[in-house]
Structure 1
Amino acid sequence: MDYYAIVHNDFDGTASAAVYARAIGSLPTKIWFTEPTRVHELLSKLELRGVTRIMIADLGLNESTLQTLLQSLKRLKEEGATIQWFDHHVWKDEWETKLREVGVEVHHDVSTCGAGVVHKVMNPNDEVSAKLASADCSVDIWLHDDPLGEKLRRVVENERSYEWKKRILETFFAGVLWNDEFQKILEAKINEELKGYQRIWKYVKVTELDGVKIVVAIRWKGPPDISYASQYLMTRTGADIFVSANGKAISFRSNRIDIRRFAVSLGGGGHPLAAGAALKIPLFYRFLRWLGVRGPVIEWVSKVVVQVIKKEGIVTYQRSKTTST
């Protein structure tokens, strides 16, 4: 069956595409790996060229681009397309309604990851898809309950190129979730990360608010990435919240605190245990950081973090078992 796939440019997006492909029984005619902030641009330029099925997965909606998105979806529907949208990010209720009004088949479930949504809807009895979705959800929504997820995420995101993501998709589609090549990549990544853990302490400050420890970090070069660093630093310091700023954006992580509220307060969003927002560090502090003076930058970010946490309050996240479709 010919179809187009449009998915997020990460492990969850790639896994979603693979689960869908196994359900359909064929790889997509063409696939795009993109970001939620750019999907409206992609759809506005998309031409069907004889393909009448489109799947979109692991891509949340954006209020500022919604109208443009709806116009493009309506055009594609009028041209004969069948459009399925699978997502697990937090939406406003009216967004789902508006997509359905233009004829999109919406599958929205905040209790799982993108691949989990596709798996539930398209092929719940496929064992390979079940294993892939389990591994993916473990790292994407911070369940940390499937060791394969930590391994596969390192492999999938080892390269950002289109060719690599497409090759990974083909491998998963064939029912292979681990092989010798993946093992070599994992070993190399782990060795790089172990070296990186020794130097990240220079970029970190631990603070405390209302009895809750918070690790605040400014971004460093090289591995480990923030997901692995956050777990390492929270474990070593006994912190419940990890925050990382890179000059343009801020990321929040936790194993038990609803940190999405902090990201939303700063104009962003995400998942309850993994979220982020735009945050531009003032030029003066970025200049100091460029000179190698890290202290003032860490202090500035720490003040922003403490202010937003004081404003929103600390709320323990209660994992929901309900779904919305």
Structure 2
Amino acid sequence: MVKSANTKNGTNKQTLQEKIVGRTTNIVHLTHNDLDAAGSDAVCRMEFGSEILTLFSSVGRFGWFLAQVAGCNGKGDTLIISDLGYQNGIEDQIRKAHAAGWIIQWYDHHKWTEAEQKRILPFVQTLIVDTTKCATGVVASVFAKDNPDAREVARVVCDYDLWKHQDPRSAKLGIVTSKQENLRLIRDKLVQGIIIDEEVSRIFEKIEHDKNKCMKKSIRAAKIFRGKYTIAVMPAYGYPSETSAEARRQLKTDIELLVFDNGKFSLRSVPEISHLIAKQFGGGGHPNASGGSFNYTWKEKWMLKLFKKVSGTKPFIAAAENL
């Protein structure tokens, strides 16, 4: 039996497994925690209703979230996974979820190898990987082909997630959803077919000021390495996509590495090698945008925080140069 967690004031807080066990829906949606995830969830809710139980997960916690679901009786209900790519060994949790009675459908747009797909296919009802779309576009192509609102949501989200930047609304949504507390707000508006309204615009303007300060702070601390590629290495203070784009514009770089003080990093590249580099550091993602971790010790964390010293630079550059 799953026990409730005790809070400081003596009341009980429902655990994740309790939420899953007590679900009032036959759809659980496990997705990433960015704009593309919010768009994917919006499209799912357009199709299946608002009772869906949604689990927003970072890439690093994907395995943990999946284990929580796998530890609960699926009862023939559907587990939809979107905007989360294959990770080494994730088939073990997929197998357990399948054995627990979950019907698994996986919709993704990250790079998969044929071998990775073969490891997953025996345990899922559906596996669709389409790197030409964002995850919202993949989900919409399956569930909402005839829904014009869903198609418009997918178009705008893909504009941001695939770095097209042809629709100015997508950049605003991307900035707003960079703050986790806004994910559900934006998701709910997209469900209604609302892309930008006054509320979203106000949130954007407030975040924009902070974003510009963080970008300048990162770029001022950037170290440039020139070899096969011109690489900028810098501490990250948030907004990795926007900081990378601005650093590339100012510094004429091919690859931008932004490292947070916990050792996790975001990587952007002109050559389609980001995902290959990130895999060497326990991560993954897209050919031009990915993430991983240097697994910092406490000393390395403080060196970055206090002195802006990015540990892990040498092996990272070697990984890029040797591809």
TM range (shorter): 0.7 to 0.9
> 1:204, 1:302 → 2: CA distance?
12
| Structure 1 position 261, deviation (Å) | 1.9
What is the alpha-carbon distance in structure 1 between the residues aligned to residue 74 and residue 295 of structure 2?
39
Q: Which runs of 5+ in 2 are unaligned?
A: 1-24
Q: Write the distance in 2 (CA, Å) between the matches of 1:8 and 1:281.
A: 23
What is the CA-CA distance between 1:273 and the residue it aligns to? 0.3
2:89 is paired with a residue of what secondary structure?
Answer: helix
Could you list the per-position Cα deviations for residues 94-149 of structure 1 after superposition, in whole angstroms to 9, with x for gaps in the alignment? 44344442352222212221111111122223222222212222332333343222
Match of 1:112, SS state, is coil
**Are residues 293 and 85 of structure 1, via their aligned partners in 2, closer, same or farther at CA, if it must alter by over 3 Å?**
closer
- Structure 1 residue 48: Cα displacement: 4.5
Task: Write the distance in 2 (CA, Å) between the matches of 1:94 and 1:198.
Answer: 42
Which residue matches 2:222?
Answer: 204
The aligned counterpart of 2:292 is 277
Q: 1:235 Cα deviation (Å)? A: 0.3
Match status 1:237 vs 2:251:
yes
Over 3 Å counting, the alpha-carbon distance change for 1:258 and 1:99 in structure 2 is closer
- 1:170 deviates by 2.3
Kindly indicate whether the alpha-carbon contact (under 8 Å) linking 1:135 and 1:147 is maintained by their aligned counterparts in 2. Answer: no
Instruction: Give 1:279's aligned amino acid.
Output: F
One-letter amino acid of the structure 1 residue matched with residue 150 of structure 2: S
- Determine the structure 2 residue equivalent to 1:188: 206
Greater RCO (CA < 8 Å, at least 6 residues apart): 1
CA shift, 1:156, in A, is 2.5
Q: Is the 8 A contact 2:72 2:100 kept in 1?
A: no
Task: Call closer, same or farther: CA 1:287–1:20 in 2, change over 3 Å.
Answer: closer
Structure 1 position 234, deviation (Å): 0.8
Q: CA deviation at 1:281?
A: 4.1
Q: Percent of counterpart pairs with the same letter? A: 21
Matches within 5 A, 1:214-225: 214-220=231-237, 223=238, 225=239
**Structure 1 119/237 Cα, relative in aligned 2: closer, same or farther at 3 Å?**
same
Residue of structure 1 equivalent to 2:85: 60
Partners of 2:231 and 2:68 lie apart in 1 by 39
Measured in 2, the distance between the counterparts of 1:137 and 1:10 equals 12
Q: 1: CA distance between counterparts of 2:30 and 2:78? A: 11
**Amino acid paired to 2:95:** L
Change (3 A) 1:93 1:266: same
What residue in structure 2 maps to residue 176 of structure 1?
Answer: 194
Question: Which consecutive residues of structure 1, in runs of 5 or more, have no partner in the other structure?
Answer: 313-325
For residue 267 of structure 2, what is the aligned residue in structure 1?
Answer: 252
Structure 2 CA distance for aligned equivalents of residues 282 and 157 of structure 1: 26
Number of corresponding residues: 295
Query: Normalising by the residue count of structure 2, what TM-score does the alignment of the two structures yield?
Result: 0.81
CA gap of 1:208–1:282, structure 2 versus 1, over 3 A, is farther
Q: Distance in 1 between matches of 2:40 and 2:250?
A: 33
Matched, 1:133 2:154: yes
Of 227, 230, 237, the match for 1:213: 230
Q: In structure 1, give the amino acid aligned to 2:194.
A: V
Quote how far apart the aligned CAs of 1:152 are. 0.8
Question: What is the rounded CA distance, in whole Å, between the counterparts of 1:285 and 1:139 in structure 2?
Answer: 33
Structure 1 segment 51-90 matched on structure 2, within 5 A: 52-77=77-102, 82-90=103-111
Aligned to 1:262: 277
Distance 1:197 1:9 in 2: 21
Q: 1:245 to 1:194 in 2, by over 3 A?
A: closer
Residue 151 (1) aligns with residue 172 (2): yes
Paired residues of 1:43 and 1:73 also in contact (CA < 8 A): no
Q: Secondary structure at the match of 1:91?
A: coil
Query: How far 1:64 moved relative to its partner?
Result: 2.2
The DSSP-based 3-state class of the residue aligned with 2:128 is strand
Provide the TM-score with structure 1 as the length reference.
Answer: 0.81
Aligned-residue offset at 1:282:
5.4
Question: Given that residues 85 and 110 in structure 2 are in contact (C-alpha distance below 8 angstroms), is that contact kept between their aligned partners in structure 1?
Answer: yes
Deviates more, 1:68-77 or 1:270-279: 68-77
CA separation in 2, counterparts of 1:251 and 1:63? Answer: 19
Amino acid at match of 2:195: L
| Alignment partners' CA distance in 2, 1:283 and 1:249 | 13
From 299, 305, 308, the counterpart of 2:319? 308
Deviation string, structure 1 residues 263-304 (Cα, Å, up to 9, x no partner): 2233422100001222134555444444x333xx24x44423
The corresponding residue for 2:12 is: none
Classify 1:285/1:4 alpha carbon distance in 2 versus 1 (closer, same or farther; 3 Å). closer
